[in-house]
Homo-oligomer: A and B are copies of this chain.
């Protein structure tokens, strides 16, 4: 089960029976709009707060994934979810609606793959037949909590990223057909002393490098084993730094198989600065776009390396640097 230092190999290869992605109006204009199951024109989703809109989106992603699997809520034995809101209220309130045994997670934007790794572990261990992993973020709810009221229209540097309004869910099962979760590398916290919350990509890059390096070493694997290696939400700046750092460590990932969810999700003309971010970024791109590509036969072996910046507004105000983490999950047909 444990290979090397920090990689789990799932011998039963739990299957992702179904997955779903829900997005907002900005995502509807994005590059991957076709891969969302539900797209909302209204960033409020008809709710009276952005927090409730995020919860609603997460609930929809869960319900859609369960529905696509031809299952009922009751068939989900455990629900694992995380998000960026204080006390992960989006996840906990969605768990209330879902009514299933619930494990709340927090790994900032890495919560998506933390959830998928643990769901696969649970299913692989026969601790469940079916487990649902999900994650979400909402642009305005996140801006409000972490930065400034959007009405201020405060300017941001080009290194800043745009929090994705989106939720993704994956139903992981012992039985069924679909892409299979084959391994997961749980990351360590890496902090290189960066403290700029408007340059998370640079802060998270070393964590991505550490996890990719560990994953390949633990499994004695060459990067070319994969058809695609995608980091979570490093954006254009962080992705470039990650490539450079990997190069320095002697790991050459060919550019055509190395990408980032935060780069892929929006069109070049959208004003997202360095790209997308948030738990909803890797969750929607992985559970929508990538899994669709796998189901179409375009990808056979995928490694998703979800990155997370584990700071808070308080830790920033207290002049702490940004602890970062990355969890990698391999999915294969």
A residues apposed to B, CB below 8 Å: 1-2, 5-6, 8, 48-49, 51-52, 77-78, 82, 84-89, 92-93, 95-96, 99-108, 114, 118, 121-122, 124-129, 145, 186-189, 191, 310-315, 318, 320, 323, 325
Contacts and interface: CB of A to CB of B under 8 A. Distances in A.
Given A86-B314, A93-B320, A128 B2 contact: yes
Closest 4 pairs (CB-CB, A-B): A92-B310, A87-B312, A101-B186, A125-B125
Most chain B beta-carbon contacts within 10 A, residue among A52, A87, A100: A87
B189 A96 contact: yes
Given A100-B188, A125-B121, A186-B103, A95 B323 contact: yes
Contact of A51 (B99, B102, B315): B315
Given A1-B125, A2-B126, A187-B102, A51 B89 contact: no
Nearest to A190: B96
A37 to B, nearest CB: 24
A313 B86 contact: yes
A282 B114 CA distance: 25
Given A100-B188, A103-B105, A1 B77 contact: no
Task: Give the number of times this chain occurs in the complex, counting copies.
Answer: 2
Contacts of A95: 188-189, 310, 323, 325
A186 B125 CA distance: 15
27 contacts: A2-B129, A6-B101, A49-B318, A86-B87, A86-B313, A88-B106, A89-B310, A89-B311, A89-B314, A89-B315, A92-B323, A92-B325, A95-B189, A95-B310, A95-B323, A99-B188, A99-B189, A100-B188, A102-B189, A103-B105, A103-B114, A104-B106, A104-B310, A105-B105, A105-B106, A106-B106, A125-B127
A286 to B, nearest CB: 19
A124 to B, nearest CB: 7
A142 to B, nearest CB: 11
Contact of A2 (B77, B92, B106, B312): B77
Contacts of A2: 77, 126-129
A92 to B, nearest CB: 4
Contacts of A1: 125-127
A302 to B, nearest CB: 21
Nearest to A313: B86
Contacts of A186: 78, 101-103
Given A89-B320, A96-B189, 19 more contacts: A2-B128, A6-B77, A78-B186, A82-B106, A85-B312, A86-B312, A86-B314, A88-B106, A89-B311, A92-B323, A93-B315, A101-B187, A102-B187, A104-B114, A105-B105, A121-B121, A121-B122, A124-B125, A145-B314
B8 A127 contact: yes
A82 to B, nearest CB: 7
